[in-house]
Amino acid sequence: MKLLVIGSGGREHALAWKLAQSNKVEIVYVAPGNAGTASEKKICNITLSDHQHLIQFCIEQEIDFTLIGPEAPLAAGIVDDFISAGLAVFGPSQYCAQLESSKDFAKAFMRQHGIPTAAYATFTDAEAAHRYIDEKGAPIVIKADGLAAGKGVVVAMTEEDAHNAIDSMLLDNSLGSAGARVVIEDYLQGEEASFIVMVDGEHVIPMASSQDHKRLLDDDAGPNTGGMGAYSPAPIVTPEVHQRVMDEIILPAVKGMQEAGHPYRGFLYAGLMIDESGAPYTIEFNCRFGDPETQPIMCRLQTDLVDLLLAALEGKLDKISVNWSDQTAVGVVLAAAGYPQTPKRGDFIEGIEAANQIGKVFHAGTTFNLDKKLIVSGGRVLCVVGMGNNVAEAQKQAYAAITPIQFRGMHYRKDIAAKALK
C-alpha cells in the first residue's frame, strides 16, 4: 500500500514511522515532513501543501489512504475536499473539527449534550467581559475562540491578569481574528490527562492513556507550550476514570455528532481535568492526535496501525481489537532557544545516531541545510522516547538517550513523568 500523512511535527514522524512498520506498506509519503521522516526507511517527504495539489498527487500516485496530523488543515476542510474527490482519508470533517477550531462551538456542544466541563460565557464586547470577570472573581480562565497555536489560553490567577487578557484579545487584537471572540470559564482544579480515541463515525477505540506536560519549566512553572513531554500510560486514568470518561464525555460526543448529521471520523482528543473524587471534566477537545502524546503512545502500540485505520475507514472499529505493550513510554521534548516565544532556528544538531541506540528520537522542528547538515527549524525540535518496565526505567532510558544530543540553546524539562512516580 501507498499512504500519505499530512504534517511536519513529532506526531507525524511517529505516525509515519508506525505505519511504515506494517508489512502491508510499500511507502509512506509525508507532506511536508521533517528531517526525521526524510531519514526513515520506507518514508519519503513531499513538499506539497495546497489541497488541490495533494489531491492530484493522491490520484496520480494511487495513494490508498491519507492520514491528517495537525488541526489547521482539518479546520480548513481538507477532509471534505479529499472526500469530494473520492479519496480515502482519516480525519474529521470541517464541521466536526469545530470542536477544536472554535472554543465557543465546543462549549455549546458540551452544554447541549451534558458533557462535564467548566461553566462559561462567551463575549465579543470587552465591557461585558470585564463586568463578568468582576462578578466571577479570580482565578478564572480566558480563552480565544479560534485556533491560536497554544497561545490562546490565559489561566488568570488574579482579576487584573484576567482584565488584561480581555484587553489584549478584544481591544488590542493580539491574536487577530482568533481572539475577536473569547470564552471565559471557571477555573478547574485537579490533575490533567489526555484521553485520545479513534472514531469511525459510530464506534470508538480508546488509545492508551497519557499525560502531557504543558508548561515550559520543571514543576509546571513558566508559560504554556504545545507540550514539553508526555508519558503513557497515565496512572491517574484508573479503570474507573476510564469508564467515566467514555460514558460521560466520549460516547455522548460521538453520539452528539451523529445526531447532528455529522458523524465524527478521526482521532478525538479530550483534554481532561480529573478532580480529587475522580470526576473527569473536559478542558478542551482536539480533533486530532496529541503532540507529544503520539510519540510515547505509538511506541507502545503493538497492533498494526494500518489495520486500525482500514477498520476505521470501513466503519468497523467494533470488529478489531488493539494491543498495547505493558511497558511504560516516556517522551521528552528538546526545545530550541527562545521557545515558546521566539524560537531560534539554524543551529546544528548532533548526536542523533547515538541517541537512537538507546531510545527513539522523533523529529519535529528539524531540516537539512544545503550542505545536508541537520539543523533546527522550529520551536519543538526533537522528542526522545525511552521505554521501560516501569516509569522509573522508562524515564531513565529517555534521559540517557538525550545525553549525546547537542544543539546550541537546547533546553528541556528534567521532570517528565515525575508525577507518575509518586
- What phi and psi values does residue 223 have, to the nearest 5 degrees? -75, 160
The residue (of 117 and 286) whose beta carbon lies closer to ligand GLY is 286
Q: In the complex, what is the shortest distance from the CB of residue 63 to ligand GLY, in angstroms, rounded to a whole number?
A: 25
Asked if 88 contacts 64 with a C-beta cutoff of 8 angstroms, the reply is yes
Query: Near ligand GLY by CB under 6 A, which window of 123-131, 152-160, 177-185, 284-292?
Result: 284-292
Q: Determine if the peptide bond prior to 296 is cis (ω within 30°).
A: no
Binding flag, residue 70, ligand GLY (CB under 6 A): no
Query: What's the grid cell of residue 212?
Result: 502531557
Residues 292-351 that bind ligand GLY (CB under 6 A): 293
AA identity, residue 242:
H
Taking alpha carbons only, the member of 11, 22, 264 closest to residue 3 is: 22
Binding flag, residue 282, ligand GLY (CB under 6 A): no
Q: What number of helices (H) and strands (E) belong to the chain?
A: 16, 22
Query: Near ligand GLY by CB under 6 A, which window of 72-80, 287-295, 303-311, 354-362?
Result: 287-295
C-beta neighbour count of 152 within 10 angstroms: 21
Binding flag, residue 100, ligand GLY (CB under 6 A): no
CA distance 142 to 122: 10
Q: How far is CA 413 from CA 347, 354, 418, in A?
A: 20, 21, 11
Asked if 209 contacts 232 with a C-beta cutoff of 8 angstroms, the reply is yes
Binding flag, residue 39, ligand GLY (CB under 6 A): no
Residues 217-236 that bind ligand GLY (CB under 6 A): 227
Residues 193-212 that bind ligand GLY (CB under 6 A): 212
The residue (of 40 and 145) whose beta carbon lies closer to ligand AMP is 145
Instruction: Describe the strand order of the beta sheet including 182-186 as a list of residue ranges.
Output: 120-123, 182-186, 140-144, 153-156
Q: In the complex, what is the shortest distance from the CB of residue 192 to ligand AMP, in angstroms, rounded to a whole number?
A: 6
Please provide the distance, in angstroms rounded to a whole number, between the alpha carbons at the two ends of the chain.
44
The residue (of 147 and 320) whose beta carbon lies closer to ligand GLY is 147
Bridge partners of residue 386, in order along the sequence? 330
Q: Which residues contact ligand AMP by CB under 6 A?
A: 118, 141, 143, 153, 155, 185, 187-188, 192, 214, 224, 271, 283-284
* Chosen from ligand GLY, ligand AMP, none, partner binding at 286 (C-beta under 5 to 8 Å by type): ligand GLY
* Chosen from ligand AMP, ligand GLY, none, partner binding at 187 (C-beta under 5 to 8 Å by type): ligand AMP
Q: Determine if the peptide bond prior to 233 is cis (ω within 30°).
A: yes
Query: What's the grid cell of residue 2?
Result: 501507498
The residue (of 55 and 330) whose beta carbon lies closer to ligand GLY is 330
Q: Are strands 215-217 and 221-224 parallel, antiparallel or unpaired?
A: antiparallel
The residue (of 140 and 352) whose beta carbon lies closer to ligand AMP is 140
Binding flag, residue 192, ligand GLY (CB under 6 A): no
Q: In the complex, what is the shortest distance from the CB of residue 380 to ligand AMP, in angstroms, rounded to a whole number?
A: 16
Q: In the complex, what is the shortest distance from the CB of residue 269 to ligand GLY, in angstroms, rounded to a whole number?
A: 7
Binding residues vs ligand GLY (CB under 6 A): 212, 227, 286, 290-291, 293
